Amino acid sequence: MSFGQRKNFTVPVDAESPEARDDAKLLPLGPFDKIPPIIIDGQDPPKTPITPTTPIIFCPQSPSVGSKRSRALRPGTTRKYRRRAILKNGDCNIVLSKVSRQRLRFLQDIFTTLVDAQWRWTLLVFAFSFIGSWLFFGAIWWLIAFTHGDLEEMHLPKNQEESGWKPCVFNIESYTSAFLFSIETQTTIGYGYRTTTEECPEAIFIMCFQSIYGVMMQAFMVGFVFAKMTRPKHRTQTLLFSKHAVVCQRDGELCLMFRVGDMRKSHIIGANIRAQLIRTKLSREGEVMAQYQHELEVGADHCGSDLFFIWPQIVTHRISTESPFFNMSASDLLQDRFEIVVILEGTVESTGQSTQARSSYVNTEILWGHRFEPIVFYNKENQVYEINYSKFNETHSVDTPLCSARELAEFYKYQDDYRNQAEDHHLQTPA
């Protein structure tokens, strides 16, 4: 069969399989990596001769991309993207739908609703709450003057001295003047031009009621505006997470690492770091749990999850037998679909409020065989530790096995057994 008729090819040797891997292939530059892959697009036969160990990739052309071809990846290493539950800036990518009596439930907790609302709605409610109350009480003052007869022609302020009429409120002659008196009463301005009299008990009651209402409403509005301005969520804008996570060896173990930092001089007290793996899991009963959460054991150095957060820290998850990544190789990392949600919690030193910063990493944001660049240096001239945040996201490649942590542990075990057997044989052999 010619190459123009053949639509798919099978790879005789899978470089990532344990059966095809030897000691030399544990490093990124193994014999297989030196062979350039041959891409077959179904049109012309390849000019490079094919051998049993040549990786072949079938990349059919898509009508939507025209002459553009897919990137040449090794067999079985197609990148798969996953929708995020937590965005990189820490916001939850969640939308509620079909919630019964949702608006009523939000109105029952109006304070939290206003604090969570956007600033344009907050300022709109703030302005209309005052203007609306002034208009409402202005109408009440106008009704009091109207029912008492203060708005009749002979009882208007210009004729009161001549007729001897005593109104409920001096100098009220229209709704505009009643509205101005409402503002003066509620804001306790008191220009002294319009005042209540002893003529109407209802006017005295409304004046007391509006004064109390104005104080309560002002305290409420100032309270939720202050709460909105001092939300701990704003503190998270200066808490940084590295753009990528990395996988490399540390003390003979494969480790998943990411970096966290704080740009402010006021530190986070009692900082604690957590990480959760979100992926699909199939239970023994056949139940598909699409958003199954698995807690990852993370820590900085040997301090556990509690951080002394005075400079950027590299948070490490050791891929041990208890880790869900124990059987995952570099190739599996590209094919699997998961999301790692990282959570940094602590108390803001300047305000004493608790804060929580979040971020996430999907499989395409994990660099296998990389290590973070150091960014903390001691400045001898100023005698201080200097942090170079321009290199916060920078990494460099290091020699890292492409196999899983389980296969690496087996390789080290076989290597130790071989050394022990060689030493025993050397001791038993007579000189």
Kindly state the DSSP code that residue 300 receives in the 8-state scheme. Answer: E
Instruction: Assess if residue 330 is contained within a domain.
Output: yes
For 259-310, write each residue's pLDDT tens digit: 999 988 888 888 999 999 999 888 888 889 888 899 999 998 888 888 888 8
Instruction: Assess if residue 361 is contained within a domain.
Output: yes
Q: CA-to-CA distance for 344 and 242, rounded, in angstroms?
A: 13
319 and 383 share a domain? yes
130 and 243 share a domain? no
284 and 395 share a domain? yes
Cβ–Cβ < 8 Å for 279, 340: no
For the chain, what is the domain count?
Answer: 2
Instruction: Assess if residue 4 is contained within a domain.
Output: no
Give the residue from 193, 214, 230 where a domain finishes. 230
Instruction: Assess if residue 362 is contained within a domain.
Output: yes
190 and 289 share a domain? no
394 and 376 share a domain? yes
298 and 350 share a domain? yes
Cα–Cα distances in angstroms (integers) from residue 383 to residues 104, 265, 358, 410, in the given order? 59, 17, 34, 47
Check residues 93 and 11 and name the one with the higher pLDDT: 93
Which segments of 150-300 are extended strands (E)? 239-241, 245-250, 253-262, 268-282, 288-296, 299-300
Share of the chain above pLDDT 70, in %: 80
Give the residue from 183, 214, 230 where a domain finishes. 230
Cβ–Cβ < 8 Å for 28, 369: yes
Sorting pLDDT into bands at 50, 70 and 90, what band is 430? low
Helix (H, G, I), strand (E, B) or coil at 427: helix
Q: CA-to-CA distance for 358 and 118, rounded, in angstroms?
A: 20
191 and 306 share a domain? no
263 and 181 share a domain? no
199: pLDDT strictly greater than 70: yes
Instruction: Assess if residue 252 is contained within a domain.
Output: yes
Instruction: Assess if residue 379 is contained within a domain.
Output: yes
Share of the chain above pLDDT 90, in %: 32
Q: CA-to-CA distance for 345 and 72, rounded, in angstroms?
A: 42
215 and 291 share a domain? no
| CA 387 centroid distance within chain | 24
177 and 309 share a domain? no
217 and 239 share a domain? no
Q: CA-to-CA distance for 106 and 4, rounded, in angstroms?
A: 64
220 and 355 share a domain? no
Backbone φ and ψ for 91, nearest 5 degrees, come out as -75, 145
52: pLDDT strictly greater than 80: no
Q: What is the pTM of this model?
A: 0.64
Range of the domain at 344: 235-412
Q: Give rounded-to-5 percent helix, strand, coil for the chain.
A: 35, 25, 45
